[in-house]
């Protein structure tokens, strides 16, 4: 086992250990992948101010997200098919997050169900909802999330129509994989993954199969999404869903000031400035580039979170300094999970925590909750 010191180390191991179809599913964006690439390269353009001779003892990364104490303001983002990167992946990731003291968000499109995760964790987790055409299914899944004690609903707004992801289409992405000759050849080299998968019964969408009407063929993900997801979702429907849920509501996929203002109007507890990790509208600007204007417009009225492109604790510090109260990591924890399971998610969190803490210290800051743009050197043309 190589020594792991960065998220990139985990990514290399993930690629080696997971089937190509699922590694590609994680490591891709839509269309030309311009937005996917810029999500990370834009972080690199922001530089840091080195400060010295400041008392650096007693540093703290502790904070709160939507009123919940967190060891650092970094939550695990909802990621579909997590349980295909590694057997029982959602349970393993949720356990790692719980032990570390950060929120875990379960995707509607998870392999382990809400009930599976609730039965294997002690603390409440957050549930991410995709709004389907089948209203009864939506009502039921909201009720299931409530029954499981989920403490926030993360309502995703940027994927009512699936962005075109060429790698998934070429690989014929399915869960579980269909046994074509190229898949079988690839799986024959992924024996650890295969043994673990044989030991679990959780191999398809746990929240959907057996719960939704007209479920059809979930194995063809892109056509299934087109059939099932509600293309009419608008602010009126969002307000009704807020009422049905009745608890903390986080709106995910806000990338425009006007939409952020609408989110404030309907009374969201938080918004996530996000372009879905570059998987939806290719050509959109990176989330870190959109963050400052959204914070300036609504930051005093709603808690602003962000994701898309975070690969290090330095990235976390940059987002917090630009006004995010919390961030989410998607691929960064998936690499860990796909590489070495629960331990890999813990390692990803440890790597990010260490980088955040050391960067804070070298920037002359002790408290993660009081970061501001003064710690950054931002290129003039950035915003």
Residue number with CB closer to ligand FNR (303 or 365): 303
Euclidean distance between CA atoms 285 and 278, whole angstroms: 9
Assess 335 for contact with ligand FNR (CB under 6 A).
no
Euclidean distance between CA atoms 380 and 276, whole angstroms: 26
Shortest Å distance, C-beta 7 to ligand FNR: 10
Provide the residue count of the chain.
383
Confirm whether residue 172 is marked as ligand binding.
no
Binding mask 177-216 for ligand FNR (x = CB under 6 A): ----------------------------------------
Burial 100-114 (b: 16+ CB within 10 A, else e): bebbbbbbbbbbbbb
Residue number with CB closer to ligand FNR (337 or 365): 337
| Set 14, 276, 305, 353: catalytic member | 276
Q: Are 33 and 167 in contact (CB under 8 A)?
A: no
Euclidean distance between CA atoms 260 and 295, whole angstroms: 9
With CB under 6 A as the contact rule, the residue among 242, 252, 262, 305 that binds ligand FNR is 252
Confirm whether residue 79 is marked as ligand binding.
yes
Q: How many residues bind ligand FNR (CB under 6 A)?
A: 24
Helix residue ranges, H only, 330-371: 331-340, 342-362
Between CA 59 and CA 68, with CA 65 as vertex, the angle to 5 degrees is 95
Residue 183, both tokens? 């898949």
Binding mask 93-112 for ligand FNR (x = CB under 6 A): --------------x-x---
Shortest Å distance, C-beta 139 to ligand FNR: 19
Assess 68 for contact with ligand FNR (CB under 6 A).
no
Kind and range of the H or E element at 64?
strand 63-65
Is there a catalytic annotation at residue 211? no
Give the DSSP letter of residue 177.
P
Residues 6+ apart with CB under 8 A from 18: 85, 86, 190, 193, 338
Assess 336 for contact with ligand FNR (CB under 6 A).
no
Shortest Å distance, C-beta 103 to ligand FNR: 12
Confirm whether residue 101 is marked as ligand binding.
no
Active site residues: 276
Residues of each annotated binding site for FMN: 78-80, 107, 128, 130, 156, 252, 274, 307-311, 330-331
């Amino acid at each position: 086992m190589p020594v792991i010191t960065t998220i990139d180390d985990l990514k290399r191991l993930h690629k080696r250990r997971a089937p190509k179809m699922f590694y590609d599913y994680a490591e891709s964006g839509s269309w030309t992948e311009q937005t996917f690439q810029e999500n990370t390269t834009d972080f690199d353009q922001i530089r840091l101010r080195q400060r010295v001779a400041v008392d650096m003892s007693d540093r703290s990364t502790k904070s709160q997200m939507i009123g919940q104490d967190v060891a650092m303001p970094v939550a695990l983002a909802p990621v579909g098919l997590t349980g295909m990167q590694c057997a029982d992946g959602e349970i393993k990731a949720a356990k790692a997050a719980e032990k570390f003291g950060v929120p875990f968000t379960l995707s509607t499109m998870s392999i382990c169900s809400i009930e599976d995760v609730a039965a294997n964790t002690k603390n409440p987790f957050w549930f991410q909802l995709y709004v389907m055409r089948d209203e009864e299914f939506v009502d039921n899944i909201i009720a299931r999330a409530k029954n499981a004690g989920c403490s926030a609903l993360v309502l995703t707004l940027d994927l009512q129509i699936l962005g075109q992801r060429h790698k998934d289409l070429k690989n014929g992405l399915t869960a579980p994989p269909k046994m074509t000759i190229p898949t079988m050849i690839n799986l024959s080299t992924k024996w650890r993954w295969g043994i673990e998968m044989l030991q679990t019964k959780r191999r398809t969408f746990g929240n959907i199969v057996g719960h939704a009407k007209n479920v059809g063929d979930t194995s063809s993900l892109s056509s299934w999404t087109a059939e099932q997801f509600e293309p009419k979702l608008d602010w009126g429907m969002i307000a009704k869903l807020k009422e049905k849920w009745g608890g903390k509501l986080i709106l995910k996929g806000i990338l425009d000031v006007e939409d952020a203002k609408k989110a404030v109007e309907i009374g969201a507890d938080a918004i996530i400035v996000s372009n879905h990790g570059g998987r939806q509208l290719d050509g959109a600007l990176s989330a870190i580039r959109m963050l400052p204007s959204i914070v300036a417009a609504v930051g005093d009225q709603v808690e602003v979170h962000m994701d898309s492109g975070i690969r290090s604790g330095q990235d976390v510090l940059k987002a917090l300094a630009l006004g995010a109260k919390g961030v989410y990591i998607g691929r960064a924890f998936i690499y860990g999970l796909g590489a070495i399971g629960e331990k890999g998610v813990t390692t990803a969190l440890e790597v990010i925590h260490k980088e955040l803490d050391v960067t804070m210290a070298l920037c002359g800051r002790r408290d993660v909750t009081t970061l501001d743009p003064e710690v950054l050197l931002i290129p003039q043309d950035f915003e």
